[in-house]
Amino acid sequence: MSKIKPSQGAPYARIMGVGGYRPTRVVPNEVILETIDSSDEWIRSRSGISTRHWASPEETVAMMSIEASGKAIADAGITPQQIGGVIVSTVSHFKQTPAVATEIADKIGAIKPAAFDISAGCAGFGYGLTLAKGMVVEGSAEYVLVIGVERLSDLTDLEDRATAFLFGDGAGAVVVGPSDVPQIGPTVWGSEGDKSETIKQTVPWDEYRNGRPEKFPAITQEGQAVFRWAVFEMAKVAQQALDAAGISADDLDVFIPHQANMRIIDSMVKTLKLPAHVTVARDVETTGNTSAASIPLAMERLLATGAAKSGDTALVIGFGAGLVYAATVVTLP
């Protein structure tokens, strides 16, 4: 018989507060057209994007995260000192170590929390949310801060006609805490590493260091392959998340998919046969693809504008480089 004392966590977990930060510079498609041979109409028809936000040198990964975190903590009605864990999902923090989560934890005033970064691309928020839920239920932390943050403008090849218009910068954060009733459903997540070449960094850092090639590494993707995978395979994952939560599309109030591309979002809505009453996040139009930050940023905007309200049932799904994915049903804070 085990002598280990059982965990003393909460019965369930919930999202208690959400916050976001968008850089002050708004970049219209006209700026992108200065370096690629395209048109505003083509960009809008292919992606639905009209503008995106790009960070200034002062708007670092840490700075944007701290701003978003402060809003999420205030929205949750707790103090920074109560935070027991900080999880940051990012692919654009350029220091291999230490984790930027430790800097953020210190700057917001948390007291010796667990703090670490994860790399799960555009599914990173879902991965972080699942880890935070486990920490709260297991009892290793009462409140966990989950941050998705990117400065993808640093990893954008402005001469690549396929991707130059896609990416934006920003940070989104949520506080996960205890609940007496289920408010974060089971996560359906996974990976398909045989498709890892479809979204990738152009060259590894060591090749760039050695001068092969001279061009700074950037994110590239096989657009059509990614589109087909996202529309057909991720719709199946989204349905599995609904099934795991024990609800149907009719029970949903809100759908918050990763803000990759408006055509992907609209196709998933059609494939899932979402009812007309379901509010669909389309933040990509003015924010672009912010990878790990896209879901919490979209969530924050829906709540701030009144398009969604506290207590709504939402399906969230992220998918991207890896290829990886994560979907779950949550109650909005």
The residues annotated as belonging to the active site are: 122, 258, 289
Question: In angstroms, rounded to a whole number, what is the distance separating the alpha carbons of residues 164 and 190?
Answer: 28
User: Which residue, 142, 149, 139, is CA-closest to 87?
Assistant: 149
Residue type (1 letter), 146: V
Maximal C-alpha separation, the chain: 69
User: Which residue, 81, 226, 263, 56, is CA-closest to 151?
Assistant: 56
Question: In angstroms, rounded to a whole number, what is the distance separating the alpha carbons of residues 257 and 265?
Answer: 7
Are 145 and 83 in contact, with CB atoms under 8 Å apart? Answer: yes
User: Which residue, 254, 115, 130, 116, is CA-closest to 190?
Assistant: 130
User: Which residue, 74, 59, 75, is CA-closest to 22?
Assistant: 59
Q: Rounded to 5 degrees, what angle do the CA atoms 75, 76, 80 make?
A: 100
CB within 8 A of 322, min separation 6: which ones?
A: 120, 121, 123, 191, 192, 193, 195, 196, 199
First CA to last CA across the chain, in angstroms?
Answer: 41
> 259-282 b/e with 16+ CB inside 10 Å = b?
bbbbebbebbbeebebeeebbbbb
